[in-house]
Amino acid sequence: MAKTKAWQEQEFPETDEQPRRHWLWQALTDNPLLVQAAGICPIAVAAATIRGGLLVAIITAAQLLLCELLTSLLLKKLPGWLRAAGYFAIGLGVICGAFWFSEALSKWTGTDSQAVRTVGVFLPLLAANSAVALRCEHRARQLPPGEALRDAAAAAAGYGFVAILIGTVRELLGWGSFWGRPFTEVQVRGIWMPFGGLLLLGALAALLKQVFLRLEEKGRLTGAAAAMEFQIEDWEVRRQRDLDLLDNGEAPSADPHEGTFLLLDNGMFPEDPAQMQMTQPLPLFLKSWDADGKPLASGFAVPAPKPAPQTKAPPKKEPPKAELPKKEKAPSAGPKMVRTAPVRPEPVKPLVSKQAPRPETLPEPAPAETEQPRVTQETVEIKISELMRLLAEQEEQEMNDPK
C-alpha cells in the first residue's frame, strides 16, 4: 500500500511529546510493552515463570534507569550510531552484574539460581533491549536528568508489572505451579511457549485499550488509546488512510483486502475535484443507496464523451457539517483508529448503473431539502460535471501514454 510522506513521518517522530501525568499513571499510559509494543521478545520467551518475569523486570529496570540518566547527561551529545553502542554497552554491564550477583547469591545460599536457569540464553540477549533504546531515543534525549529518571522509573514500573503478571499467569496455567511449588494439576502446555506469551500480551494490551477508551469517554483521559501501537486495522482505519491519501493527491489502494474500492454515496463527491487527480488512474466504482441503506445501483464510472453543461442547481439548504475527528499527532505513531458513524444520505438518482444505459446528460443533482441525518458527519457539495470532465481527461492521458 502506498504511503504518504506524512504517514511515514508519523511512524518515527523526532519528538515524542507526552502530557505530564503522575509517574505511576504514566507506567500504564506510557507502558513500553502494552502501549509502545517494545521489548516484547524477552517477555514472550523469558517471562515463562514468576522468577523469570521478576528477573527480566529487575534487569530491565536497572538498564532503563542507567541508560536514561546517562543519555540525558552525556549520550545525547553523541551521534546516533554511537548512542546505540552506548545503550548496548550499558546493557552488557548490567547483565554481567546480574550474573555476578546470581553466582554470589548461589554460593551464599548454597542453591542454584533457578531464575537464571529458567531464562537461559535470553538473559544475555536482554543487553540489547529495544524497550530501553526506544525510550532513550524518544524521551531521555529531550528531557533533563531528573525528568529522565522519572520517566525511567515509570517505564520500569510498567514493564516490570507486565513481566511479573505474565510470568505468574504462565506459570500457573502452563506449569500448574506458583513460585516453583505445585499449585494445580491443570497444565496447558502452549501457555509457557512463546506464542502463549504473545497471546497474553495481546490480551493485556486489548484490555488496557478498553480501559483507556472507557476513561476517554468519561473525559478523564485523552489520547492514550490512540497512542497505542497495538492496533488491529479494520476497514474503518483503512478508509481513513485512504482519505488521507486522497488529501495528498495520491491514489488509495483499490484492493478490497487493503480497504477500498472508492465508493461514493449518492453523488457526494469531494468538494475540490482536483483531489481526484490521482498519480495513477483509479477506476471508480460508484454506488448509490437510499436513506435506509439499501443499494440502488452500482457500476464503474465511465467518463462522458462530452463535458455536460452545468445545470443550475436549485438553492440548497446547507446541511449541518460535522467535523471529522481531528488528527492529533500521536506521540507514538501508528495507524489511528477512527470511529465514524455510518452515513444515512438522502436518496438521489444513481449516476451509473450496470443495467441502465449510460445517460447522455448528467442527472440532476441532489434535491435541496435534506432530512436531518441520523448521525452527524461531514457533508460536502459536489460538482459532478467537473469530476466527470477530470475522469475523461485521465482516461485520455492513460490511453495516450502507454506504459
- The footprint of another protein (CB under 8 A) covers 1-2, 188-191, 193, 195, 199, 202, 206, 232, 234-235, 238-239, 242-243, 246, 252-257, 259-266, 268-271, 275, 281, 283, 300, 302-303, 305, 324, 342-343, 345, 358, 377-380, 395, 398-399
Query: Least distance from C-beta 16 to another protein, angstroms?
Result: 28
Between 28 and 246, name the residue whose CB sits nearer to another protein: 246
Nearer to another protein, 95 or 246 (CB): 246
Cβ proximity to another protein: between 26 and 266 the closer is: 266
Write the CB contacts of 260 (distance below 8 Å, at least 6 apart in sequence).
238, 239, 242, 252, 253, 254
Q: Which is nearer to another protein, 85 or 207 (CB)?
A: 207
CB 187 within 8 A of CB 174: yes
Shortest Cβ distance from residue 210 to another protein (Å)? Answer: 8
- The three cell numbers of residue 68 are 536514561
The single-letter code of the amino acid at 330 is: A
Q: How far apart are CA 67 and CA 129, in angstroms?
A: 11
CB of 249 to another protein, least distance (A): 13
Residue closer to another protein (CB basis): 44 or 64:
44
Shortest distance, position 261 Cβ to another protein, whole Å: 7
Q: How far is the CB of 193 from another protein (least distance, A)?
A: 7
Which cell numbers in the block locate residue 357? 444505459
C-alpha cell at 1: 500500500
Nearer to another protein, 83 or 238 (CB): 238
* CA–CA distance, 392 with 303 (Å, rounded to integer): 5
Residue 276 CB, shortest distance to another protein, in Å, is 9
Angle at CA of residue 317, ends 312 and 322, nearest 5°: 120
282, 251 Cβ separation under 8 angstroms: yes
Nearer to another protein, 145 or 334 (CB): 334
Radius of gyration (C-alpha) of the chain in whole angstroms:
28
Least distance to another protein, CB of residue 346, Å: 12
Residue 39 three-state SS: coil
Q: At what angle do helices 130-138 and 50-73 cross, to 10 degrees?
A: 30
Helices 80-109 and 50-73 pack at an angle, to 10 degrees, of: 140
